[in-house]
Structure 1
Amino acid sequence: MKDVVPFSSTEPTVAQNFLLAKVESAIDGRVHISTVGDGSRKANFVSHFNLGQTTANRIEQLVHFAATLGKGHSNIVYANGAADAEDIALQLADLFSEREQTPARIALSQLASEAVHQNYALVECAKVGVAFHYSNIPTHLRRAIEIAVSTGDVDYLVCTSTLLQGVNLPAKNIFMSYPTKGKTNALDSTDFWNLAGRAGRLKREFQGNIFLIEYDKWKKKPLESPKETLISPAIETNVKDQGGQLVSVIRNDVEARSDRTNLESTFVRLFSDHKEGRLTTTLQRIGISSDAPRAIELQEALDAANLSVTLPTRILRNSPSISAHKQQKMFNEIFGIVSQSKEAARSLIPKHPRESGAFDSYANILERCHRIIRGIDTSRNLHRFHALLAVWWMEGKPLPQIVENQIERNRRTSVRTNIRKTLELIETDIRFQAVRLFGCYSSLLVFALEQAEFPELVSSIPSIPVYLEIGASDKTMISFISLGLSRVAAMRLNTLSVRKDLDQKGALAWLRTRPLETLGLSPLLLKEVGAILVR
């Protein structure tokens, strides 16, 4: 129909009912429930009932409210962090210990063991239809959890704010109690309404329920805030709200030399625009005129930076999250060595992960990166530890083995904490920090080799950032991953293949010659491989 005009709306696709739950007696779990409808009405009494369990703290409240009121439905329980999510999930799993362990639940449990560790909390939780979801969980395991929730094999999902980031997993009920984002920051209204919007599944239910436990005691009252919030671009926020700190970064003040990725990204963007004559236009787009005090202050700081930063903007933009001053200092140090001799230049080229001396090569590079870019005291030898993890990860070492090494190394720390910390190390320090550090180093090394007229050495620089990102460096394993397989499946297949130099076509041909039942893969990994062969 030509006369139909689309328009945006903040209204959910199904009706949503906000229920305020107040604990009247923590000893026996006596509860008062009232409704505020869609969040805009006055509270109306709904019911009194007893949970029959002690609800003296937030975790007990979430566990017993969800277990009692969520029976037979899909449920999301909001947790204030990864450890919190595991605690809540484990207690729910304990309550549901008599539940049927279906093949789908057992398959998810097996994948959690293979992908992370046999003692990972998810291994036991998944068996009874309970799971948790947070940022450092390996991507393919997170996807398997999401699929299990969408199919109903998992009907209790304990999540952190990670679920707010583009993952569409609606549920009949959502349970929240004193929600925070991070350890101390109360959940803001934007994230609250985003999460609340998951309540109710289109075409399955007429309405979804959001249970707000002890809402009267929350630090923030998100129901009183608008559902729609304008989101400003990062560059606008940094220039307008953190202008003083941004200018300090541009001036390279001592107190601004630590790792401040968001401000450094804005510095590189503004510096590039300044060098190319676009600064005035950029500032006008975010509502700052060229004669405003902030614009003048930025212009003066950028003029001063231009005197000391000589790297071309095309090089600086290769590492947009790293300060132009830090990139210049790194380049000066690299070029000082490269310009000595061709042999000296070769000494700066990273080793392939399978080469002898790879660990020392990465330790030296990370020492320079930690000292110059991250502002870390290298006497702690953190760079050596990260270099060791990087070698293991790029060699394709199984994550459970890396986790087990950490458990042995830190025996005074609980197994659960060790597992979470190892996941964080891999995701944050290897797949994020090390990727950007090696990326910056490689970009500056290439430019230094070109400036010193050693361009023939450029082709010998291995793709370390790519190896770090995917957790593989053997060509065959990389080919399996490029076919669409997870790192776990690719690693298992790589160990079965005698040849480590197969391209994507060769890897697929090898896979087609093997009967699937002989590969020794668990059900979900076998399903991955089968899907690739069918496709």
Structure 2
Amino acid sequence: MQELIEKVWENPLFHNASHRIQLAWLRQELGTDAELLDLEEANRLMRAAAILACSTNQEHRKIAFRVATCTYEIFRTKSLPFDQALRVVLARLGNFPSIMTRKDVASSGKNLPLTLATEEAASAESRRVIFNKKNIYLTDFQHTLWVNLLNKKRIALAAPTSAGKSFVLQHYISSIFSNNTNNSVIYIVPTRALIAQVAEDLVEQFRDFEEEKPEIITIPIDNETPLPKNAIYVMTQERVQLALIAHKNFFAHIIIVDEAHSISEGARGVLLQWVIDDLLHRKNNSQILFASPTIRNLDVFGRLFDIKDVVEFSSVEPTVAQNFLITKIDSATKGKISIQTVGDGRSPLSHVADLTLNQNISSRIDKLVHISATLGHGQSNIIYANGAAEAENIAILLMDLFIDRPDKESLLALSELAKETVHPNYILVECVKKGIAFHYSNIPTHLRRAVEDAVSNGQIDYLICTSTLLQGVNLPAKNIFLCSPERGRRKAIESTDFWNLAGRAGRLLREFQGNIFLIDYDNWKKKPLDGPKDSIIVPAIENTIKNHEDILLSVINDDSVGKITDTENFETVFVRLFSDHMRGNLDRTLTRLGITEDTIEFKTIFDALTLAEQKITIPPSIVRKNPGISVHKQQRLLDILNNYISHSSASAKILIPKHPRESDAYKSYEAILEICYQSLLDHDTSKIKIYRFHALIARKWMLGTSLSQIIDDQIKRSPQKIIRTTIRDTLKLIENDIRFQAVRLFGCYNTLLTYALDKAGLIDLASSIPSLPLYLEIGASDKTMISFISLGLSRVTAMKLNALSARKDLDVSGALHWLRTRPLESFGLSPLLLSEVRAILLLAH
């Protein structure tokens, strides 16, 4: 067979025909005239693809897939059984999921000649697994992952979004709960959006589970509530840290680290490494899996966590092919464009088509709007925008282009949800009615998930996204449109992010190929096609110590005020090193980074930490509860608190934060935030009074005030501002200043106040401190509303139900009982909110 493979590959006629069939497919996609191959040539191409599919060479296999799918989609089955031929190619490639993409291919197995049917059966059997009593056929990559998971291997893998790793992981998780043994799984994800996505997928996975279902937990359980015996914790590293602090018996049999490359990303990367270290310390034989789309040095995880038996492997063979199409602007005023293909991104340029849009496309946004509207008609499309404001602008212009589209009845419920969740004037309310939506980080999670669902089921055909799409959200589309894409503040997108984004073009089981349109590529700041697809990651703590030691030392020496802007990263590294130093673990941490005790770097850091230790009275067990805040700043805050406490128990009582429902809560939060902004953020509070505003919004948020009401208040506060801008700014205020910064500050304050009161013997006072960080994180302070959210309901649904409940002290089981004993129609909820409640009740049966 190898000789036959080489004969096909070395034949220039094959490559010529392969090139022409791919061009013909692209021209058919674009609706232009295509030079078709004759039937005999197409037949020869399909035969050649069937031979190359037997190769182990990745280039051979990729071409086999492209040639076979293009030939099938152009000729179909009018004259020859190309459905059977494509099935043979896909089976030989081990790409069994793609067989189900087209009905005639899926049903053609019964017509295969006996020898080919036998060959497929043998190949399929080697990749067959049984999930919930059903036969499932996996790709080579999926099967390799499955076997290693079953063998309890510790794994580091790199695989694109379309590789299907989540499918395997979720089925593996369900399999370990089917043997009636107690299990704990901790699934670490980088964002709250991914918490929602993974948790919902797991809920669906266990819907028909016949054994006792594990609890799927997304919010840390308070320290007074025992941990369940069978549980899956889906959390960010911040929430895992809170769970570790609250429960000394919080550990995992299985740890899954999704988007593991984020271990290189600043303060959150340092914290991710820290919580993994803690989990492995509590159970050193935990099975762990590090998953990422783009890591070249997979060995970094074994080194960083001192794991000797990590199995490393990558998936370089996507289940869907991508076409990169350079879209050149020949005349901006007349809308003339020419399209060239570079195949999978590495092939020579080939002309595909010339088109005239009859639209002025001079600006970047005009290019994105009109080119996507023309080339993406009737298909699923993602348009990449450089920020939330731009995403909304593009959506507005597309909505104007499609103004004659009738409103989609199926999307009226989504429109109503956007109105209820955010504000009646939110531009998404009108956009979705026309099948257009946008997606950025500050949109409330459940609304974003509803948008994603509408995209997945085909109701939304134009989705405008920002860089949040790079944070692991599984949201593929047929076409992706990019024009000078950026990530962050006017920073051109890196090649690894570009390739990660491009991997979302093409939807498994929907199509065989996806298209990435690179608009006005010649004028991009960077040329990501020329860059690497994968990256060498450096853990954030290692990068900080080795490349920014001078800044780190200034933070350790408490001499950094006004010198740096990104303080959180350096302060988090300082807290980690200080904690390790005090516990006698500094040598272990630094040795894993390649800094041994006999080096100058080790001695310099050790000496600096020793000097810092002399100024600190806080024990390391307390320091580490506030990982993003310098030890020196924590000490300053503690000194202030001790000063109050030393006067009298009455002055100590003043320090206790009020519950949001108490009438003087605002004054309490104002005073606390003034102290925190001064001691922890180095603000001159005599000049900067923003803490007062944040105290006001924090209380409203914790009281369960609707986002719509908070936005209304902001519109009245700044009537001269454009309403769209006010809405966007308020969403950012809630996410950044309340759910992140205020959580951090109140968390540090509560931790140090509890420690100071305990030390002063005022234990009763310490036990009366309310859980403000939790209230701020979820936007609720009534126990009943918190219980509704803990059941899996969105904040807006929990808020409405809480208003209907006379009791505000229901625990989770009480809240579930309350739901079960009330007629759903009496809640007065809109359709999508009502469907949330139904899903929770169904799951609870």
The one of 405, 409, 418 aligned to 2:717: 409
Counterpart check, 1:524 vs 2:822:
no
The one of 779, 783, 786 aligned to 1:475: 783
Q: Which residue of 2 aligns with 1:281?
A: 588
Counterpart check, 1:217 vs 2:523:
yes
Q: Which residue of 1 aligns with 2:461?
A: 155
Q: Which residue of 1 aligns with 2:352?
A: 46
Q: Which residue of 1 aligns with 2:419?
A: 113
CA distance in 2, matches of 1:133, 1:5: 34
Secondary structure at 1:181's aligned position in 2?
Answer: coil
CA distance in 2, matches of 1:419, 1:202: 36
Amino acid at match of 1:108: L
Offset from partner CA, 1:314-370 (integer Å, 9 cap, x none): 000101111111111111111111122111111100000001210010001101111
**Structure 1 residues 281-290 or 397-406, which shifts more?**
281-290
Counterpart check, 1:298 vs 2:605:
yes
How far does residue 293 in structure 1 lie from its aligned partner after superposition?
Answer: 3.4
Secondary structure at 1:271's aligned position in 2?
Answer: helix
Secondary structure at 2:813's aligned position in 1?
Answer: helix
How far does residue 191 in structure 1 lie from its aligned partner after superposition?
Answer: 1.1
Offset from partner CA, 1:424-476 (integer Å, 9 cap, x none): 00000000000111000000000000111111211110111111111111122
CA distance in 1, matches of 2:633, 2:626: 11
Superposed counterparts of 1:49-448, under 5 Å? 49-253=355-559, 254-256=561-563, 260-378=567-685, 379-448=687-756
CA distance in 2, matches of 1:42, 1:339: 76
How far does residue 395 in structure 1 lie from its aligned partner after superposition?
Answer: 0.6
**Structure 1 residues 235-244 or 193-202, which shifts more?**
235-244
How does the TM-score come out when normalised to structure 1?
Answer: 0.97
Runs of at least 5 residues in structure 1 that lack an aligned partner in the other structure: none
Offset from partner CA, 1:77-109 (integer Å, 9 cap, x none): 000000011011111111112223223311111
Offset from partner CA, 1:259-290 (integer Å, 9 cap, x none): 61111111101111112222222122112233
CA distance in 2, matches of 1:96, 1:26: 21
CA distance in 2, matches of 1:200, 1:230: 26
Q: Which residue of 2 aligns with 1:23?
A: 329
CA contact (8 A) 1:238 1:246 kept: yes
CA contact (8 A) 1:257 1:375 kept: no
**Structure 1 residues 502-511 or 403-412, which shifts more?**
502-511
How far does residue 206 in structure 1 lie from its aligned partner after superposition?
Answer: 1.4
Of structures 1 and 2, the one scoring higher in RCO (CA 8 A, sep 6+) is 1
Offset from partner CA, 1:103-139 (integer Å, 9 cap, x none): 3311111111100000011111111111111110011
Counterpart check, 1:449 vs 2:745:
no
Q: Which residue of 2 aligns with 1:490?
A: 798
After superposition, the Cα gap between the structure-2 partners of 1:342 and 1:259, relative to the gap in structure 1 and judged at 3 Å, is farther
Secondary structure at 2:647's aligned position in 1?
Answer: coil
How far does residue 256 in structure 1 lie from its aligned partner after superposition?
Answer: 4.7
CA contact (8 A) 1:258 1:374 kept: no
CA distance in 2, matches of 1:215, 1:469: 42
Residues matched between the structures, number: 535
CA distance in 1, matches of 2:557, 2:405: 62
CA contact (8 A) 1:10 1:228 kept: no
How far does residue 257 in structure 1 lie from its aligned partner after superposition?
Answer: 7.7
How far does residue 512 in structure 1 lie from its aligned partner after superposition?
Answer: 2.3
Secondary structure at 2:562's aligned position in 1?
Answer: helix
Counterpart check, 1:511 vs 2:813:
no
CA distance in 2, matches of 1:228, 1:259: 26
After superposition, the Cα gap between the structure-2 partners of 1:137 and 1:106, relative to the gap in structure 1 and judged at 3 Å, is same
Secondary structure at 1:417's aligned position in 2?
Answer: helix
After superposition, the Cα gap between the structure-2 partners of 1:117 and 1:280, relative to the gap in structure 1 and judged at 3 Å, is same
When the two chains are superposed, the root-mean-square deviation of aligned CA atoms in Å is 1.6
CA contact (8 A) 1:81 1:183 kept: no
How far does residue 503 in structure 1 lie from its aligned partner after superposition?
Answer: 2.2
CA contact (8 A) 1:259 1:373 kept: no
Amino acid at match of 1:269: R
After superposition, the Cα gap between the structure-2 partners of 1:159 and 1:5, relative to the gap in structure 1 and judged at 3 Å, is closer
How far does residue 494 in structure 1 lie from its aligned partner after superposition?
Answer: 1.3
Secondary structure at 1:311's aligned position in 2?
Answer: coil
Amino acid at match of 2:691: H
Secondary structure at 1:528's aligned position in 2?
Answer: helix
How far does residue 172 in structure 1 lie from its aligned partner after superposition?
Answer: 0.5
How far does residue 244 in structure 1 lie from its aligned partner after superposition?
Answer: 1.7
How far does residue 258 in structure 1 lie from its aligned partner after superposition?
Answer: 6.3
CA distance in 1, matches of 2:679, 2:688: 15
Secondary structure at 2:353's aligned position in 1?
Answer: strand
Secondary structure at 1:280's aligned position in 2?
Answer: helix
How does the TM-score come out when normalised to structure 2?
Answer: 0.62
CA distance in 2, matches of 1:377, 1:103: 54
Q: Which residue of 1 aligns with 2:217?
A: none
Amino acid at match of 2:731: L
CA distance in 1, matches of 2:630, 2:371: 49
Larger radius of gyration: 2
**Structure 1 residues 253-262 or 176-185, which shifts more?**
253-262
Amino acid at match of 2:369: V
Counterpart check, 1:461 vs 2:749:
no
Offset from partner CA, 1:148-191 (integer Å, 9 cap, x none): 11111111110000111111001100000010012311111121
Amino acid at match of 1:356: S
**Structure 1 residues 4-13 or 479-488, which shifts more?**
4-13
CA contact (8 A) 1:259 1:374 kept: no
How far does residue 12 in structure 1 lie from its aligned partner after superposition?
Answer: 2.5
Runs of at least 5 residues in structure 2 that lack an aligned partner in the other structure: 1-125, 128-139, 146-312
CA distance in 2, matches of 1:177, 1:240: 36
CA contact (8 A) 1:192 1:222 kept: yes
Secondary structure at 1:354's aligned position in 2?
Answer: coil
Aligned-residue identity in percent: 59
Secondary structure at 2:514's aligned position in 1?
Answer: strand
